Amino acid sequence: MSTRLAQGGRLIDRQKPLRFTFNGLPMEGYEGDTMAAALLANDRMLVGRSFKYHRPRGIVASGAEEPNALVGLGEGARFEPNQRVTTTELFDGASAISQNHWPSLDFDIGAINARLARFLPAGFYYKMFIHPRPFWKHVYEPFIRQSAGLGRAPKDRDPDRYEQAYGFCDVAVVGGGVAGLAAALAAGRAGKRVWLMEQAAHWGGRAVVDGVTVDGAAAEDWVAAALAELGGMANVRVKARTMAAGLYDHGYLLAYERIADHTPGDGRPRHRLWRIRAGQVIAATGAIERPLAFAGNDVPGVMLASAVRDYAVNWAVSPGDRTVIVTNNDDAYRTALALADAGLVVPAVVDARACVTGALPQAVRDRGIRVLEGRGIAKVKGGKRVTGVAICAQAGEGSVLEEIGCDAVAMSGGWSPVVHLWSHCGGKLAWDEAGAMFRPDPARPPTGADGAAMVVAAGAANGHLQAADCLADAHAAGGGTGAAPTAVTEAEAPLEPVWIMPQGAGPALRAKMWLDYQNDVKVSDVQLAAREGYESVEHTKRYTTLGMATDQGKLSNINGLAVLSEALHQPIPATGTTTFRPPYTPISLAAIAGEAKGELFQPLRRTPMHDWHEAHGAYWEPVGHWRRPYCYQRSGEGIEDAVRREVRNTRNGLGLLDASTLGKIVVKGPDAGRFLDMLYTNMMSTLPVGKCRYGLMCNEQGFLSDDGVVARLSDDTWLCHTTSGGADRIHGWMEDWLQCEWWDWKVYTANLTEQFAQVAVVGPKARAVLEKLGGDIDLSAAALPFMHWAEGTLGGISARVFRISFSGELSYEIAVPAGQGRAFWEQLIAAGEDFGVMPYGTEALHIMRAEKGFIMIGDETDGTVIPQDLGLDWAISKKKADFLGKRGMERTHMTDPNRWKLVGLETPDGSVIPDGAYVPATGVNANGQKNTQGRVTSTYHSPTLDRGIAMALVLNGPDRMGEVLDIPGIDGKVYRAKIVSPVFYDPEGEKQNV
Amino acid sequence: MKRYSVFAVAREALRNHQGWDRAWAKADPKPRYDAIVVGAGGHGLASAYYLGRNHGITNVAVIEKGWLGGGNTGRNTTIIRSNYLQDPSAAIYEKSRSLYETLSQDLNYNIMFSPRGVMMLAQTQHEVRGYLRTAHANALQGVATEFIGPERVKELVPIIDTNGPRYPVLGALWQPRAGTARHDAVAWGYARACSAMGMDIIQNCEVTGIRREGGKVTGVETTKGAIGCDRLGIVVAGHSSQLADMAGFRLPIESVALQALVSEPIKPCMDVVVMANTVHGYLSQSDKGEMVIGGGTDGFNNYTQRGSWHHIEETVRALVETFPMLSRLKMLRQWGGIVDMTGDRSPIISKTPVEGVFVNCGWGTGGFKAIPGSGWAMAELMAKGASPLAEEFSMFRFREGKFIDESVAAGVAH
Ligand SMILES: Cc1cc2nc3c(=O)[nH]c(=O)nc-3n(C[C@H](O)[C@H](O)[C@H](O)COP(=O)(O)OP(=O)(O)OC[C@H]3O[C@@H](n4cnc5c(N)ncnc54)[C@H](O)[C@@H]3O)c2cc1C
């Protein structure tokens, strides 16, 4: 069984017991425990089930590389699936449940898959479930989905808070082992701005567990001193619980700080996502031990040798009473020593190497522990827990030489440097034959904007597994001058690459050797992939799912590609690795989203009158980041009724529209006129000061992209109104041309959309209400005719008054400083009371413009419509040599006389044609689709005319006045409509020109 | 080719799966072929497959510089739909979708086409009108779609928040017979079927030049030597401009990075595909249980197959906002592909200025769904010189201004 030892445990505080539950069972641990350590201390080795076969799964590792031990953590809204217990700090009251089984962890029906394993090899689903066809959707897929997946889906809205922050440094050191500390010390002493981060809550990495001596002191003490020194440096920032998740181009480092995972609900943000601009990244990310592939290496109780050591030293937990060690290298002997130190039994060390002579093995032999040379494990015995191992010759096919009873197996297949950060941005790897590992190739680093290396790997991450080399390497990486820290450890003899055990294992054994524990990928699966031609390492990965589990192959990738290489009879570097992608370990989506949720999801733009609208029944419509009132609902009034009331009131009396969202871009400079002549299809340079002109903008293709009224403010200043949705886009468009193409033109642009509040005062009583406000502007028809503007004060507020109309009524659009927008609006409401004033919203605006036959960008246009289609030929200058879109419009398809053109549609019965309807034509096209001859672009019930009106683009429409069309709706009805002029209301313009 | 079936699997199980054939043969280039397709992505392989199946042309090589299916075909989020606005798009995507329905049987390879339904959310009035328009267009095109209200949205996707404070869901365009498929399997299934017809799939072989004589193609130069052919199909997605350059013409293609990500797997919680264009993100759940997430492209051209981090943030924000339960899931992996964008966001399947050279590209962010239909059209074009499905997608349309603009209907065209 696994238990807590009576003594020891560097990281735990026995004075502080913590209570937690696992599958409802109460358990106890100590402060400083990971949940994995605490589970083991409570003799909980079996913690989950594998993905495919639902095999029993135990804790294998002690850190981020753990593939098996995933639980559902927390309850209610704080429930989180797939939490890795080896990186979960224990806290009081924690509750965990195991995953992927039914009905229970100990008895799982899904485990039937394990019995059927031989029928379910890699990629079996590509070869089965093909017939009968409907079964995939209705039978097979639902079944597969149900048995796949790991944890339960969360249900509720997350109650926690998440933060994002920026960091800047010269050097970001990733990894808090001795290498990271040495590199940070070197860089910090040199005066660099340094960030040092460690994913775990504790520092020192392997050296403190392995009893290394650094600079004559115990590693433990050296680490404490290093941290103290770094803590005292103003230029160094030290962060625990912070994992460097990914490296992006130009030294953009993403780090994930787990602030409050271990103190849930304490009010602090749970995670913080750091985006760090680092001059250089030092990846001192260490190395990960590799499992060995032998039959039954997935039985709970089989663990990494280093993890067994970690549990014993850090947390005083013994994973077993009798632990057999199996290895191909010297390092694993340290585990034997650590266990012996703790008074535990190590029945044997099984070493695949034929001749074992090093100092560490000698020390082990000196304790009276058997060392079996040239031996391997033929098979692990046990189901939900190891009960023993069968020993064989490594060189043979697996005949059993002896059996040894044990309840744990500690395995070591050598080490792989953690090269993720090096690789994220294209750093290349070299195969190190002696160490049997891929390590960063210093000749091919990832490069920054200046072409220089932006990552340096240091220490074990750079392939230096011996503490002394590791420190020297890290010291140099940190730019250290003077002597590097020195370390003393036992010398190690070379490892022998062993990928499967025993060497000559037949198919039956190979089908029981796990490579990927979570996804159930075995040696036989990789060999099958190779046999079937999935030879690229990427094909093998995808075909077998090797390395695709939530640990992303930290334990399985190298072993898998070694097995693949053997199967393909090619050297390992010829096989290569799969791509390392961020994040290094999974990070919460919440942290990625940060504070941007709910009301803060996107910036909400409010006009100065926003709160007034809110208080007066606004039914909101999102328009870009703005909110605009769609209409103002009175109590008991439906939305459609409100819209009708607003239209009628405006046409007959007085309406107010908050038009502040309209884009307002000032264009100024000696070349401003010339610039606007290029931007607009019509001529703007000739517009006299004091006048307004309606203008069209096209993209280079000649398609209409925006429209609006332009006013000339002074000799060299124009004010361009754009659509509400188009303001930022058009401003960007202007700057694009000015900065990239016409950089020598003397023009400035400024987007003043938010600097002005704008109110459209509309209706027969518009002039009267403004006169009532009082001011120094002569608003008479003679002094301020249609399409003119004037400046002055209105109701004591300085204002610019544009006499323009988008409704066909007498109308003034008045711009006032944004800060006075609300006051101005309220003055108008008060002054308008006698005239029956009502505010109106966007829908009334749309209806009135449609009644008048005015186009709306986005309704009548869709990126494929040219001004000529809309009868706007008059707005296209014939005099100008060039403007944006001119050449585009001259292309054959654009000048084709047979195009869909703007008309009005009138339904004899007054009904409203559905939005988006198409007008069919006779026959079908070459692809069997019904031919069409037009489409409805805008359609409304007109309160003014009290019947349906529509605008449409119809093939040669203007030549077909009076023709009747049949328009089918998706509501199943067919609408009859007559082609008429699109101007339904006041065609002569008598109302707007008064 | 040994057929795949449950019986074959059972038979092989009894002999430890030692008897399986290679899915596709290892091939070295022959001196010449009747037709060469460059690029063993989905579109290249499907083009070759239908050349053989529909037109009897089997002396064909598919040449791939890396591993087959390793381009965008193996990187996409596998959405298959045909609810496109413009007629030519709807025609080819619907052809494609219908071919997907029987593709597993046709190829004898389970590509896991899952017609689980695709829903495109309308979150502004403008979007509502846009999707109503698409629904009307689809009705005439023979594509079964339907505009549904927020209640039905919630019913189909219980995890969605239809009343978000910023962009409440106003409705959705719903295509019940759209869905997803397993991307690698599509490439592998076609490759296996091509190989079974005797075609050569030559991997790790980069095309470095295109040989011409008198304005006509005569073959290609590759890292494995020169290979002759009468007809050449260029089907290389993000690298199309480079191949066109080798053939001496230019293409209106920009290559940009598009990213995607997956969460850790969880038990089934969402049965359909949801696309939310206003907030810019889309979501489905793979059969493995991962939440598959995608968003918009990078704003600048590049070839790195990596993207900018801030796009991932934007996408994830959009989805956490729309599906609050995602918050406590974790991102497992992110990646990128280089997509080939045309000016109107529609593809090119076309003859070129060089006789015998045909090009199939410009699928941009949304060509996985088109693989069978595109291959069908490309094969017909290469075999006969014309194809009704390809007609409108000529590369010369840009010169005429005859755009097939789909960005009208959806911000993102996946
Ligand atoms: C993140 C992401 C998400 C996506 N999501 C979706 C989605 O949900 N739905 C959808 O329908 N589409 C989606 N797409 C788009 C879709 O993936 C592509 O449109 C489609 O896969 C393109 O296939 P292809 O065969 O044209 O290109 P690819 O699969 O890229 O194949 C082109 C091949 O050409 C090879 N090649 C290039 N140059 C040479 C040369 N010189 N010599 C030889 N070979 C060469 C490449 O190596 C590559 O294998 C997505 C794309 C990405 C990147």
Q: Is the pLDDT of residue A148 over 90?
A: no
Same domain? For A195 and A271 the reply is: yes
Domain termination residue (choose one: A114, A148, A178): A114
pLDDT at B408: 63
- In angstroms, the CA A309 to CA A328 distance is 17
Spatial distance between the Cα atoms of B290 and B313, rounded to a whole number of angstroms: 18
Query: How many angstroms separate the CA atoms of A200 and A240, rounded?
Result: 6
Report in angstroms the alpha-carbon separations of B151 from B80, B115, B162. Answer: 24, 22, 8
- Detail the DSSP E strand segments found in A573-614: 587-588
Question: What is the domain-level CATH number for residue A736?
Answer: 3.30.70.1400
Shared domain check, A234 and A199: yes
Mutate one of B330, B342, B396 to test the A interface: name it (highest A CB count within 10 A): B330
Let me know if residue A741 belongs to a domain: yes
**d(CA B129, nearest CA chain A) in Å:** 6
Cα separation values, A492 from A367, A467, A488, Å: 18, 11, 12
CA atoms within 13 A on the CB side of A191: 0
| Whether A776 and A655 share a structural domain | yes
A45 plus A110 within the same structural domain: yes
Looking at residue B411, what is its pLDDT?
43
How far apart are the C-alpha atoms of B141 and B148, rounded to whole Å?
A: 19
> pLDDT at residue A111 above 90?
no
Nearest CB among B8, B265, B397 relative to A149 is that of: B265
The enclosing domain of A932 has a CATH number of 2.40.30.110
Host H or E run for residue A162: strand A162-174
Say if residue A9 is in the same domain as residue A90.
yes
**What integer pLDDT is reported at residue A103 of this predicted model?**
87
pLDDT at A912 over 80: yes
Which tokens is A788 given?
A: 């003119």
Q: Give the mutation target among B97, B365, B378, B393 for probing the ligand 1 site: most ligand atoms within 8 A of CB.
A: B365
Please give the model's pTM, rounded to 2 decimal places. 0.96
A709/A721 Cα distance (integer angstroms): 5
Nearest ligand 1 atom to alpha carbon B81: 11
Question: pLDDT-based confidence at A491, cuts 50/70/90?
Answer: confident
Portion of chain A with pLDDT greater than 70, in percent: 100
CB atoms within 10 A of CB A104: 10
Per-residue H/E/C for chain B: CCCCCHHHHHHHHCCCCCCCCCCCCCCCCCCEEEEEEECCCHHHHHHHHHHHHHHCCCCEEEECCCCCCCCHHHCCCCEECCCCCCHHHHHHHHHHHHHHHCHHHHHCCCCCCECCCEEEEECCHHHHHHHHHHHHHHHHHCCCCEEECHHHHHHHCCCCCCCCCCCCCCEEEEECCCEECCHHHHHHHHHHHHHHCCCEEECCCCEEEEEEECCEEEEEEECCEEEEEEEEEECCHHHHHHHHHHHCCCCCCEEEEEEEEEECCECCCCCCEEEECCCCEEEEECCCCCEEEEEEEEEEECCCCCCCHHHHHHHHHHHHHHCHHHHHCEEEEEEEEEEEECCCCCCEEEECCCECEEEEECCHHHCHHHHHHHHHHHHHHHHHCCCCCCHHHCCCHHHHCCCCCCCCCCCCCC
pLDDT of residue B410: 46
Same domain for A955 and A829? no
CA distance linking residue B78 with residue B64, whole number of Å: 21
Residues near A622 by beta carbon (within 8 Å), at least 6 away in sequence: B123, B124, B166, B167, B278
Q: Same structural domain for residues A167 and A265?
A: yes
Find, among A574, A559, A577, A573, the residue nearest to A522 by Cα.
A559
Q: What is the pLDDT of residues A756-785, one digit of tens each?
A: 999 999 999 999 999 999 999 999 999 999
For chain B, the residue count is 414
Q: What is the CATH number of the domain that holds A266?
A: 3.50.50.60
The burial of A496, by beta-carbon neighbours within 10 Å (0-12 exposed, 13-18 middle, 19 or more buried), is given as middle
ipTM of the shown complex: 0.97
pLDDT for B409 = 52
Q: Is the CB of B38 under 6 A from ligand 1?
A: yes
Query: Does A157 map to a domain?
Result: no
Residue contact B105–A128, C-beta within 8 A? no
Distance of residue B233 Cα from the nearest chain A Cα, in angstroms: 23
User: Which is nearest to A857 in space by CA: A978, A704, A982?
Assistant: A704
Burial of residue B66 (CB within 10 Å: 0-12, 13-18, 19+) is middle
Q: Which residue of A153, A424, A586 is in closest CB contact with B269? A: A153
CATH number at residue A580: 1.10.10
Q: Which domain holds residue A656?
A: 610-661+755-848
Q: What angle do CA A585, A587, A588 make, to 5 degrees?
A: 155
Residues 6 or more apart in contact with residue A916 via CB below 8 angstroms: A935, A936, B129, B130, B131, B132, B133, B134, B135, B136, B137
Top mutation candidate among B99, B368, B374 for ligand 1, by most atoms within 8 Å of CB: B368
Mean pLDDT of chain A: 96
Residue A165 token pair: 């922050």
Decide whether any atom of ligand 1 lies within 6 Å of the B236 Cβ. yes
Task: Please state, for a pLDDT cut of 90, what percent of chain A lies above it.
Answer: 94
Same domain assignment for residues A227 and A262:
yes
State the pairing for strand pair A162-174/A194-197: parallel
Residues A517 and A472 in one domain: no
Q: Is the domain of A523 the same as that of A582?
A: yes
Nearest by CB to A249, which of B182, B287, B306? B306
Out of A440, A465, A481, pick the residue that ends a domain. A481
Mean pLDDT of A983-991: 94
Is A870 inside a domain boundary?
no
> Given the CA of residue B361, which atom of ligand 1 is nearest to it?
26
| Token pair for A84 | 């890795």
For residue B19, give how far its alpha carbon lies from the nearest alpha carbon of chain A (Å).
9
**Does the residue A878 lie in any domain?**
no
What mean pLDDT is predicted for residues A630-650?
A: 97
CA A108 to chain centroid, in Å, comes to 35
Please indicate, yes or no, if residue A14 is contained in any of the structural domains.
Answer: yes
Spatial distance between the Cα atoms of B248 and A591, rounded to a whole number of angstroms: 49
**Residue at a domain's end among A827, A848, A869:** A848
What's the average model confidence in pLDDT over A832-839?
97
Helix (H), strand (E) at residue A126: helix A124-127
Q: Which of B70, B334, B407 sits opposite A582 (nearest CB)?
A: B334
Please name the residues in contact with A744: beta carbons below 8 A apart, sequence gap of 6 or more: none
Residue of chain A with shortest Cα separation from B183: A542
Atom of ligand 1 nearest to the CA of B74: 29
CB pairs under 8 A between A and B: 331
User: Is any ligand 1 atom within 6 A of the Cβ of residue B77?
Assistant: yes
Does residue A73 sit in the same domain as residue A212?
A: no
Q: A705 and A650: one domain?
A: no
Q: State residue B165's pLDDT score.
A: 83
B294 lines ligand 1 (CB under 6 A): yes
Of A133, A533, A859, the CB nearest to B23: A533
The Å distance, Cα B233 to ligand 1 centre, comes to: 15
* Residue reference for tokens 């889309």: B282
CA A372 – CA A357 distance, rounded (Å): 12
DSSP letter at A23 equals T
A713 domain residue, yes or no: yes
Interchain contact, A136 vs B25, CB within 8 Å? no
pLDDT score recorded for residue B1? 78
- In chain B the first and final C-alpha atoms are separated, in Å, by 34
- H or E segment at A476? helix A467-477
In a domain, residue A518? The reply is yes
Radius of gyration (Cα) for chain B, nearest Å?
Answer: 21
Residue in B closest to A588 by C-alpha: B330
Between CA A424 and CA A495 the distance in angstroms is 29
> Which of B38, B50, B72 is the pocket-test mutation for ligand 1 (most atoms within 8 Å of CB)?
B72
pLDDT tens figures, A266-276:
999 999 999 99
Question: Does some domain include residue A330?
Answer: yes
Give the C-alpha distances (Å, rounded to integers) separating A51 from A48, A110, A300: 10, 10, 15
- Quick: pLDDT tens for A916-945: 999 999 999 999 999 999 999 999 999 999
Q: What is the pLDDT of residue A490?
A: 87
Nearest C-alpha neighbor of A356 from the set A389, A323, A394: A394
pLDDT under 50: residue ranges of chain B: 410-413
Nearest-by-CA chain A residue for B195 = A533
Instruction: Supply A505's token pair.
Output: 């294992």
Cβ contact A622–B405 (<8 Å): no
For residue A825, what is the domain's CATH number? 3.30.1360.120
CA distance A866 to A818: 35
Question: Which residues lie closer than 8 Å to A799 by C-beta, 6 or more apart?
Answer: A775, A777, A791, A792, A793, A814, A815, A816, A824
pLDDT at B412: 42
**Mean pLDDT, residues A26-51 taken together:** 97
Give the nearest ligand 1 atom to B366 CA.
12
How many structural domains is chain A composed of?
A: 7
